[in-house]
Homo-oligomer: A and B are copies of this chain.
Amino acid sequence: MKFKGCPGFKLAGVACGLKKNNAMDLGLIYAELPANVAGVFTRNKIKAAPVLLDQERIKSGTCQAIIVNSGNANCCTGGQGMRDAIHMTQLTAAGLGISEDLVMVASTGVIGKPLPMDKIEGAIPDLIQALNLNGVADFAGAIMTTDTVPKIVVRHGEVNGNLFTITGVAKGAGMIRPDMATLLCFVMTDLKASPDQLKEMLAAAVAKSLNRITIDGDTSTNDTVLLMASGFSEAIVSESGQMAAVQPILDDVFVTLAKQLVQDGEGVTKLVEVVVKGASSDADAEQIVDTVAHSNLLKTAFFGEDANWGRIFAAVGRAGVPVDPNTIDLYFDDVLMVQDSLGCGDQAESKATAVLKKPEFTVTIDLKMGHGSASMLTCDFSIDYVKINADYRS
């Protein structure tokens, strides 16, 4: 597939030998002029060297290039790891003729192995040479690890009659990837927006998307999400009304990427939205959604296409928030399967089983206690997930 680039950004991807089979494993984003930037990073206490470096550099609010490698997380690699991360940005800056402070870096792959810097150093000239306005597909391929397809979303919008583009690229799904060297996400736009505006819009978009997906509950040492604005369009975000016009488009980019991530999760055969409503508060609903969406027993039942609602109730009950055990309704899509905590019989069960045979469906839990609600996108837990993760490093 050919994707048109986002004005102001050139991208590229090459193979430098970190991954097997000569697959692309080194990517670069280059902004023709320094761009405003905002980011969110893993909350894991053990952070990879590139994350620590980016967290420092993003304070300036400006970035002109992002160099990314797959095949190695550069995490738990000590002082050498930090020196390697800095060196990657120095090599990139020198090749592009820009300041090292304007270069950020991300890595993804196995934890605890030193980065083969000779391979990266040797490939950077080719990488810079390959930069082009329509390089997004190459870049998206170069940052993949166990992904089976690249994740790219392009959307357009309008602010006061001026068009703008948002192009998002991501790899690995939130918490699903082996070695937790999981989620990298880079979003480019030609909007004119300040770092603070980007920060605010990014936080809102991530809350609705990347923070609402789960595969296996493990979180990364390397999670990095960066949003860059080149300002190449005439669409200006100068006040809150304009931010409100942009936010739905940005949200759509992130929600679509999040869905692509879960859909391509390891071994995933089912995409399931879990919705909790009628909770005493949104916070309670979130805690219940989180517990249900992570239940291994429920996820294996999804894989088996078994409408085993007892497992949902048991997960609701152990979420640690008050629930009335006698008033819970449960739907698979629009099939009411349990009413007031009692099964609705064989006919409802066979309708629910039909829903579970679909590749995508929604589970709705209505506690009928109050107005709190929350939702999360999860998946099934398959034999292939175990196979992929048992054999990952071999």
State the A residues within 8 Å of B (CB). 43-47, 73, 75-78, 110-113, 178-181, 216-221, 294-297, 300-301, 303-304, 306, 308-311, 313-319, 321-323, 325-326, 338, 340-343, 381-383, 385-387, 389-394
A286–B138 alpha-carbon span in the complex (Å): 45
A390–B383 alpha-carbon span in the complex (Å): 10
Q: Say how far A296's CB is from chain B's closest CB, in angstroms.
A: 4
Contacting residue for A310 out of B179, B216, B310, CB 8 A: B179
Contacting residue for A394 out of B300, B306, B314, CB 8 A: B306
Q: Do B76 and A392 have beta carbons less than 8 Å apart? A: no
A46–B78 alpha-carbon span in the complex (Å): 47
A73–B382 alpha-carbon span in the complex (Å): 26
Q: Do A304 and B112 have beta carbons less than 8 Å apart? A: no
B contact residues around A341 at 8 Å (CB): 46, 76, 78
Contacting residue for A47 out of B220, B297, B304, B325, CB 8 A: B325
Q: A218-B295, A297-B216, A308-B392 are in contact. Are A46 and B303 (CB under 8 A)?
A: no
A304–B391 alpha-carbon span in the complex (Å): 6
Nearest residue in B to A380 (C-beta to C-beta)?
Answer: B390
Give the one of A308, A323, A392 with max B CB within 10 A. A308
Q: In the A-B complex, list the 5 residue pairs whose CB atoms are closest, starting with the nearest.
A: A111-B310, A304-B390, A46-B317, A300-B389, A44-B317
B contact residues around A43 at 8 Å (CB): 318
B contact residues around A179 at 8 Å (CB): 297, 308, 310-311, 314
Q: Do B342 and A78 have beta carbons less than 8 Å apart? A: yes
Q: A304-B391, A342-B76, A394-B304 are in contact. Are A311 and B218 (CB under 8 A)?
A: yes
Nearest residue in B to A381 (C-beta to C-beta)?
Answer: B386
B contact residues around A46 at 8 Å (CB): 313-314, 316-317, 323, 325, 341
Contacting residue for A318 out of B45, B75, B315, B381, CB 8 A: B45
A110–B307 alpha-carbon span in the complex (Å): 12
**Can you name 14 A-B pairs with beta carbons within 8 Å?**
A44-B317, A45-B317, A45-B319, A45-B323, A46-B316, A46-B341, A78-B326, A110-B310, A178-B311, A301-B389, A306-B391, A306-B392, A308-B393, A382-B386
B contact residues around A322 at 8 Å (CB): 45
A73–B317 alpha-carbon span in the complex (Å): 15
Q: Do A342 and B110 have beta carbons less than 8 Å apart? A: no
Nearest residue in B to A178 (C-beta to C-beta)?
Answer: B297
Q: Do B216 and A296 have beta carbons less than 8 Å apart? A: yes
Nearest residue in B to A389 (C-beta to C-beta)?
Answer: B300
A383–B110 alpha-carbon span in the complex (Å): 23
Q: A76-B341, A341-B76, A343-B112 are in contact. Are A386 and B300 (CB under 8 A)?
A: yes
Q: Say how far A313's CB is from chain B's closest CB, in angstroms.
A: 5
Q: A221-B314, A314-B44 are in contact. Are A301 and B180 (CB under 8 A)?
A: no
Q: Do B218 and A315 have beta carbons less than 8 Å apart? A: yes
Q: Do B386 and A313 have beta carbons less than 8 Å apart? A: no
Nearest residue in B to A298 (C-beta to C-beta)?
Answer: B218
Q: A44-B314, A111-B314 are in contact. Are A390 and B342 (CB under 8 A)?
A: no
Q: A76-B342, A178-B297, A180-B314 are in contact. Are A383 and B389 (CB under 8 A)?
A: no
A75–B342 alpha-carbon span in the complex (Å): 10
Q: Do B309 and A112 have beta carbons less than 8 Å apart? A: yes
